[in-house]
Amino acid sequence: MAKTNQAITLCFLLLLLLLSAAASHPLCSDSKTQVNTNETLQFCDAYSGRTCCNSKDDLELQNRFNSMNISDSNCSSLLKSILCSKCDQFSGQLFGNETSPIPILCNSTSQDLCSKLWDTCQNISIISSPFSPTLLGGATSPSTSSTLTDLWKSQTEFCTAFGGPEKTNNNNTTKCFNGEPVNQATDVKPPQGICVEKIGTGSYLNMVAHPDGSNRAFFSNQLGKVWLGTIPDQDSGEAMELDESTPFVDITDQVSYDTQFGMMGMAFHPKFAENGRFFASFNCDKVKSPGCTGRCACNSDVNCDASKLPKDDGDQPCRYQTVVAEYTANGTSSSPSTAKTGKASEVRRIFTMGLPYSSSHGGQILFGPDGYLYLMTGDGGGVSDTHNFAQNKKSLLGKVLRLDVDVMPSVSEISQLGLWGNYSIPKSNPFQGNADERGEVYALGLRNPWRCSFDSERPDYFLCADVGKDTYEEVDIIKMGGNYGWRIYEGPYVFSPLSPFGENVSEVSNLTFPILGYNHSEVNKHEGSASIIGGYFYRSNTDPCSYGTYLYADLYANKMWAAIESPEGSGNFTDSQIPIKCSQDSPVTCTAAPGGDDSGPDIHLLTSSGVYRIVRPSRCNFACSKENTTASRGKQSPNGAEPPQSLPSSARNHFFSVFMSLLLLMLSMCLTVLQW
């Protein structure tokens, strides 16, 4: 289904440095994320909604259960519940490891399923019993019929092998199975709403906090201009300082701007304050720009013939390119940190790749907590990934790429290694060194990732939204080597199991399914259109009732969600729509709130009508019991209201240096960075 740019475009952007912290998040027992499906499992009917099983898994479990040929109904009921525990959305906490035939059975005074199982089934014949001692080592189950007393000397021996209590080690919880779906209730509630204030009137596409931890930030538009602005303190009643007549850098002569093209992203080196290095991701036109000379992504390595591409670009296959280029602020000031301008000439071309079609080309760039540069690419467009690029590990389309821009190879090494520019490949990349796979690839199986972010408190939480095709929009936890299904799946739904060359690719293993998502019909009942915008974890105390929530939005539905993970570290998220209002005492008058939402310490929303940021909920009369409303009052706001005293600069700088500032972009009719 074609999507247009005739609605407000909401785009979240990462603002600041990511902190070191780690928390594992066990999901399903096979390390995948849960499947969020509307279908009801026929056999394991105790599980619905978000589960670790789809209908195929459910049928396999039913066939396995039927083959056991259990004659006793009570024993049969227990065995069914144990087998179906694989479908529990928290099964990663129930099973000792991926090869375990059954979950850890509760074996304590308060919960004792193991003893109950022994008493009920000890003399019942079970064909290919899952309780065979050989299965503890991952061996194949014997085909002969067995009873528990045939396999084990006593209940004590049996429950020592298969039983255990709930345990917590290093903040990781291993649960035991008590015969019922795991209950992970939480008292964490979504915020009542989001309150914003308007601090600027400009219209921008990207925002990146200054890496030096000050209250400054870089803003850019799709045309290719970048500005450096100053963000006022919270509750200061002041507007943002930004002079559009003096951009920090102007690369509009290098950028090909159109509805589908432009400057897609910018990233500043973590040590920018010392080395002055910054990067831009944009599109160029090789008809108009001699330096636009990348290799076409449609090539013989990926079984694609560029000469057969549509001729709407004339005789120029892959006329338009995705580019990542490096620039510098060195020499424009006594130090990069104090520079008010950068140099518009490229220091080096980091990456150039020809695009087979004009849509679905992603383009976001960001530095990860590991110091590497991440580049998100779409599947290249066409009709539903015509060439199956997203599943092809030799293609760089439909991927998250991870590049080392601190170690630059020589010209001969670039040619020898077949690199697409001036970078090296991190040795820890999952496909590095494999002849039939590209070493740049960090994760695959994405259609059009738009807005990815690392959680500032848990950098192993790397979340990306992936724009759907006809049915489903999704958010994924990106893991090294992860395969997110497109175009075999669109979210949890089978999409196209055949490659363009006829072979069936539906048997690809270890696919990872979304943690969040929604059907198009759920958010736009009239047109059925939807387009997700990725979000961020809110890590500010400005709105303490939103702290820790993951905030994201949809383009067409103009709706916002706050998602809560419960329990923390589980990978299980529930979301709810939340309203947004504009404070009446904004530094710049706002007649209506933007239809969007975001997360971070000092949250910013960029819209076609101006720049907003998240403020205290009480300023919009949203109830939040955690908010401190006893602050003294200071400066008068523009309309005469008396806001609380502004935060001191030290507190503001602490926010910027310790947490991750985020931004929500909403641009109307002009941004086509979603490329569908």
- pLDDT tens per residue across span 552-563: 988 777 788 999
- pLDDT tens per residue across span 335-363: 999 999 999 999 999 999 999 998 899 99
Q: With bands split at pLDDT 50, 70 and 90, how would you rate the model's confidence at 453?
A: very high
Token pair belonging to 4: 């247009």
Nearest CA-CA partner of 198 in 242, 237, 247, 244:
237
Residue 238, pLDDT score: 97
Nearest CA-CA partner of 218 in 14, 11, 376:
14
The mean per-residue pLDDT over the stretch 117-144 comes to 78
Token pair belonging to 267: 């990233």
Q: With bands split at pLDDT 50, 70 and 90, how would you rate the model's confidence at 31?
A: low
Q: What are all long-range contacts of 90-93, with beta carbons under 8 Å and residues at least 24 apart?
A: 90/26, 90/175, 90/182, 90/184, 90/570, 90/572, 91/28, 91/29, 91/52, 92/26, 92/27, 92/28, 92/29, 92/31, 92/570, 92/571, 93/26, 93/173, 93/174, 93/175, 93/182, 93/570
Measure the CA–CA gap between 146 and 224, rounded to whole angstroms: 71
347 touches 328 (CB < 8 A)? yes
Nearest CA-CA partner of 327 in 291, 378, 281:
281
- pLDDT tens per residue across span 630-644: 443 333 333 333 333
Residue 515, pLDDT score: 92
Report the relative pairing of strands 277-285 and 573-577 from DSSP bridges.
Answer: unpaired
159 touches 106 (CB < 8 A)? no
Consecutive H or E run containing 79: helix 73-84
Measure the CA–CA gap between 249 and 134, rounded to whole angstroms: 67
- pLDDT tens per residue across span 208-228: 999 998 999 999 999 999 999
- pLDDT tens per residue across span 504-525: 776 777 889 999 999 988 887 6
Measure the CA–CA gap between 380 and 387, rounded to whole angstroms: 9
What three-state secondary structure class fits 619?
helix
Residue 315, pLDDT score: 67
Nearest CA-CA partner of 164 in 114, 213, 125:
114
The mean per-residue pLDDT over the stretch 159-175 comes to 67
| CB-based contacts of 488, cutoff 8 Å, min separation 6 | 391, 445, 494, 495, 496, 497, 505, 506, 508, 511
Nearest CA-CA partner of 362 in 291, 260, 278, 470:
260
Measure the CA–CA gap between 213 and 656, rounded to whole angstroms: 5
- pLDDT tens per residue across span 407-424: 999 989 998 889 999 999
Give Cα separations from 443 to 66, 503, 533, 608 (angstroms): 38, 22, 19, 33
Read out DSSP for 17-59? PPPP-------STTSPPPEE-SSPPSSSTT--SEES--HHHHH
Measure the CA–CA gap between 635 and 419, rounded to whole angstroms: 56
Is the pLDDT confidence value at 170 over 90?
no
Residue 259, pLDDT score: 84
3-state secondary structure 495-515: CCCECCCCCECCCCCCECCCC
117 touches 159 (CB < 8 A)? no
Residue 568, pLDDT score: 78
Residue 399, pLDDT score: 98
Is the pLDDT confidence value at 550 over 90?
yes
Is the pLDDT confidence value at 11 over 50?
no
572 touches 90 (CB < 8 A)? yes
Instruction: For CATH 2.120.10.30, list the domain ranges present in the chain.
Output: 8-26+189-668
Q: CA-CA-CA-CA torsion for 200, 538, 428, 279, nearest 10 degrees?
A: 0
Is the pLDDT confidence value at 463 over 60?
yes
Nearest CA-CA partner of 368 in 429, 314, 309:
429
Is the pLDDT confidence value at 465 over 70?
yes
Nearest CA-CA partner of 118 in 153, 143, 166:
153
Is the pLDDT confidence value at 252 over 60?
yes
State the amino acid at position 197 in one-letter form: E
Which DSSP symbol is given to 215?
Answer: S
- Phi then psi for residue 486, to 5 deg, are -65, 135
Q: Where are the alpha helices (DSSP H) in 147-201?
A: 148-151, 155-162
Is the pLDDT confidence value at 278 over 70?
yes
Is the pLDDT confidence value at 443 over 50?
yes
The mean per-residue pLDDT over the stretch 449-466 comes to 93
534 touches 552 (CB < 8 A)? yes
Consecutive H or E run containing 519: strand 516-519
- Report the residue count for the chain: 676
Burial class (CB in 10 A: 0-12, 13-18, 19+), 492: buried
Residue 92, pLDDT score: 80
600 touches 659 (CB < 8 A)? yes
Give Cα separations from 76 to 67, 69, 121 (angstroms): 12, 9, 9
Residue 134, pLDDT score: 75
167 touches 581 (CB < 8 A)? no
Nearest CA-CA partner of 481 in 24, 19, 32:
32
Residue 35, pLDDT score: 59
The mean per-residue pLDDT over the stretch 284-288 comes to 92
Q: Above pLDDT 90, what percent of the chain? A: 54
Domain 8-26+189-668 has CATH 2.120.10.30: yes
Q: Which residues pair with 564 in a beta bridge?
A: 574
What's the pTM?
Answer: 0.73
Q: b/e map of 385-421 (b: 16 or more CB within 10 Å)? A: bbbbbbbbbbbbbbbbbbbbbeeebeeeebeeeebbb
What three-state secondary structure class fits 522?
helix
Is the pLDDT confidence value at 447 over 80?
yes
Residue 294, pLDDT score: 92
Residue 90, pLDDT score: 79
Is the pLDDT confidence value at 658 over 60?
no
Report the relative pairing of strands 604-607 and 662-668 from DSSP bridges.
Answer: parallel
Is the pLDDT confidence value at 653 over 70?
no
CA atoms within 13 A on the CB side of 259: 10
Token pair belonging to 43: 């056999």
Is the pLDDT confidence value at 272 over 90?
yes
Rounded mean pLDDT of the chain? 81
First to last CA, the chain: 9
Q: With bands split at pLDDT 50, 70 and 90, how would you rate the model's confidence at 250?
A: very high
Q: Where are the alpha helices (DSSP H) in 475-576?
A: 520-523
Residue with tokens 């459910």: 58
Measure the CA–CA gap between 444 and 481, rounded to whole angstroms: 7
State the amino acid at position 271 in one-letter form: K
Residue 602, pLDDT score: 57
Q: With bands split at pLDDT 50, 70 and 90, how would you rate the model's confidence at 168?
A: very low
The mean per-residue pLDDT over the stretch 96-119 comes to 83
